[in-house]
Structure 1
Amino acid sequence: MSARTKSRRRALDVLFSADVRGDTIEQALEAESLRAASRPERANSWPYAREIVQGVIDHEDEIDLLITRHSTSWRIERMPAVDRGILRMAVWEARFNDEVPVGVAIDEAVELAKELSTDDSPKFVNGVLNAIVKEPALGS
């Protein structure tokens, strides 16, 4: 598993944890930062995981608006928490991180959905993300 894939898993853990516990993403990020500082064996995957989570925090309103606009099957509040986290992370990578090719962001998100969510989730995640990346970015 690549370092970036591990980082995405860690970022998803933070987003999922915040969601199911009812914490803010900032609170979950801080808690994970403290854990990461005490686990040097995980040092390689933490910087990018932190960047992803901070990116989701910084663009949360726009990310959720995009997901809401392009999810015809589910309101964002009704989605499984893991799907919501995967989508938020992937939208940030595809829309706000120029270092990650859009196709990679989508492929990684679909793989996480296959592994961690329902049987219908990979198709759902793929459809929502493909619709989002086809929409012109604000200010374009």
Structure 2
Amino acid sequence: MSARSKARKRALDVLFAADVRGETPEQSLEAESLRAAARPERASSWPYAREIVQGFIDHAEEIDRLIAANSTGWPLDRMPAVDRGILRIAVWEARYNPEVPVGVAIDEAVELAKELSTDDSPKFVNGLLTAISKDVATA
């Protein structure tokens, strides 16, 4: 697994933890920063994970608006928390990180959904991100 793939998974852990604990992403990011400082063996994936989460925090309203606007029949609050986190990461990468091609952001999100979510999630994540990528391309 590449360092960026590990970082995406760590960022998902942070966003998921915030979601299920009822914390803000900032609180969850701070707690994970303290854990990361105590675990130097995980240091290589932490900077990009932190960048992803901070990127989501900085653009949360726009990212959630894009997800909600392109999700037919699935309001953001009805989505599984893991899918919501995966989508938030992928939308941030596709829209705000020019180093990550949109196709890579989608592929990585689908892989996370395959590994960590329901059987239906990879198809849902792929379809939703494909629709969002059209919005991203015109932005």
CA deviation after TM superposition for structure 1 residue 135, in Å: 1.5
Report 1:1-140 matches (<5 A): 1-136=1-136, 140=139
State the alpha-carbon separation in 1 of the partners of residues 108 and 136 from structure 2: 22
Sequence identity percentage: 78
State the alpha-carbon separation in 2 of the partners of residues 127 and 71 from structure 1: 9
CA deviation after TM superposition for structure 1 residue 59, in Å: 0.3
State the alpha-carbon separation in 2 of the partners of residues 96 and 36 from structure 1: 24
Q: CA RMSD in A?
A: 1.0
Deviations, residues 9-36 of structure 1 (Å, cap 9, x unaligned): 0000000000000000000000000000
**When the two structures are aligned, how many residues end up with a matched partner?**
139
State the alpha-carbon separation in 1 of the partners of residues 136 and 91 from structure 2: 13
Letter in 2 for 1:6: K
Deviations, residues 29-84 of structure 1 (Å, cap 9, x unaligned): 00000000000000000000000000000000000000000000310000000000
Higher helix fraction (1 or 2): 2
Show structure 2 runs of 5+ residues with no match.
Answer: none
The answer to whether the 8 Å contact 2:11/2:53 transfers is: yes
State the alpha-carbon separation in 1 of the partners of residues 136 and 112 from structure 2: 26
TM-score for the superposition, normalised by structure 1: 0.97
CA deviation after TM superposition for structure 1 residue 100, in Å: 0.4
Give the secondary structure class of the aligned counterpart of 1:58: helix
Letter in 1 for 2:63: I
TM-score for the superposition, normalised by structure 2: 0.97
State the alpha-carbon separation in 2 of the partners of residues 11 and 131 from structure 1: 23
